[in-house]
Amino acid sequence: MFRPAPPRGGRWHIDANGTGCPRARPSVSVLHHDYRSDLALDLAAEQCLRSGLPFSRITLESDSRARLYLNLSGLPVGSTMPFPIKGDYSLHSYHRCVLTRDKLAGRIGLVAAEWAMVESLLTDMFTFSVFALSKEEHAGQRIVRQAMGALDSLNARLDIVEAIIRPRIDATLFEEYVKQIQPELRRRAGERNRVVHSEWHVCDRWPDDLIAFAPGQDPMRYTLKCFDDIAERIYQARVMLNNYWHRVQRSLHGEPPPPPGYPPPPP
C-alpha cells in the first residue's frame, strides 16, 4: 500500500490504537510521523491527497513538531493501492500498448463507468432538489443535466449541490453531506482521475501490470487488484450517496427516515 515517505532516516510509527506492522499487515488502522518543518508535512499531506488516502494533521506545541496521521481505517482491509516503483526498469509506451494488458485495459473502462454512475446520481440528486414537489421536475431534468454536464470540475458540481440542498434539508443531513459525502467523493474522484488521465506504460519487469507515468512523480504500478479495488471503492461511494439521496428525498417530502437496510444497494 502506498504511503508518503517520511523524512530521510525516519519511519512510520503505529499509533496507540493501531495494530500490526505497517510494512506487512493491512490491519493497521492509524500511522503517524512527526515532521520538524511545516513544508515537509505539507509535501507528505499533498502525497496523501494525490493518492486518495484519508489523513489528518496536528501541531505538537510542546516542541514545535507537526504530526501527520495516516488513517488507513477508511480503506477496506486488504484493499490495494498502486505501488511506486524503484530500482532499474525500462518503461515503454506505444500505440495500443495498453491492450497488451487486456484485462487491465478493461478495468480502466470499469473505473470510468463506475464513476459515471456516481456523477449521474449526483445529477439526479441536484435535479430532485431543485424541482422537489414541483410538476416541472421532468421538464427541467434535461436542462439541469446539460448544465451539470457542462461543469468539468467535481468541486463545482459538489458546491452547486451544496448550495441547492442547504436551505432545503435539516442541519444534520447537511452536515453529513459536507463532512462525509463530499470528502469521500473527492477521494474517489482523485482515484478515478488518475486512472482515466494517466499516461500508461508497460514494463517487461512486470508483465501483468500497467505503469502510470507523470512527469516529476514516481511511476506507479497498477495491478489487476488495484483497479478492482478502485472500482469497488467508487461503487461503495455510490452506495453511500444513494443511501444519503433517499434520506434527502424523504426529508424533502416530510417523511420519517427510512428503516435500517433501506434503500437496497444500487445495481
Q: What is the pLDDT of residues 229-254, one digit of tens each?
A: 999 999 999 999 999 988 888 888 88
In whole angstroms, give the CA distance from residue 210 to residue 5.
22
DSSP helix/strand/coil, 199: strand
pLDDT per residue over 126-160, tens digit each?
A: 777 776 645 555 555 666 666 666 666 788 888 88
Pair 12, 33: CB distance under 8 Å:
yes
Long-range contacts of 155-163, Cβ-Cβ distance < 8 Å, separation of 24 or more: 155/186, 157/119, 157/122, 157/126, 158/122, 158/182, 158/185, 158/186, 160/126, 161/122, 161/125, 161/126, 161/129
Q: What is the pTM of this model?
A: 0.69
Q: Which residue has the higher pLDDT, 196 or 63?
A: 196
Dihedral angle over CA of 44, 45, 49, 54, nearest 10: 110
Question: In the prediction, which pLDDT does 129 show?
Answer: 72
Confidence of residue 93 (pLDDT cuts 50, 70, 90): very high
pLDDT band at 88 (very low <50, low <70, confident <90, very high): confident
Q: Residue holding cell 422537489?
A: 132
Mean pLDDT of 190-212: 94
pLDDT exceeds cutoff 70 at 18: no
Position 95 pLDDT exceeds 60: yes
The one-letter amino acid at 217: Q
The yes-or-no verdict on residue 161 having pLDDT over 80 is yes
The average pLDDT across 95-123 equals 94
What span, in angstroms and rounded, lies between the C-alpha atoms of 150 and 140?
16
Section 27-55 average pLDDT: 53
Which of the residue ranges 58-62, 154-158, 189-193, 256-260 would you say has the lowest mean pLDDT?
Answer: 58-62
* Segments making up each domain of the chain, as ranges: 13-74, 83-252
| Residue 41, C-alpha cell as written in the block | 508535512
Q: Which one-letter amino acid corresponds to residue 74?
A: G
Q: Do the Cβ atoms of 234 and 111 come closer than 8 Å?
A: yes
* Closest residue by Cα to residue 92 from 219, 230, 228: 219
Query: Hunting for cell 442541519 — which residue is that?
Result: 171
Report percent pLDDT > 70 for the chain.
61
When pLDDT is averaged across residues 164-192 and rounded to a whole number, the result is 90
- Split at pLDDT 50, 70, 90, the class of 227 is very high
> Per-residue pLDDT for 38 more than 60?
no
Backbone φ/ψ region at 227: left (φ over 0), alpha (ψ -120 to 50), beta: alpha
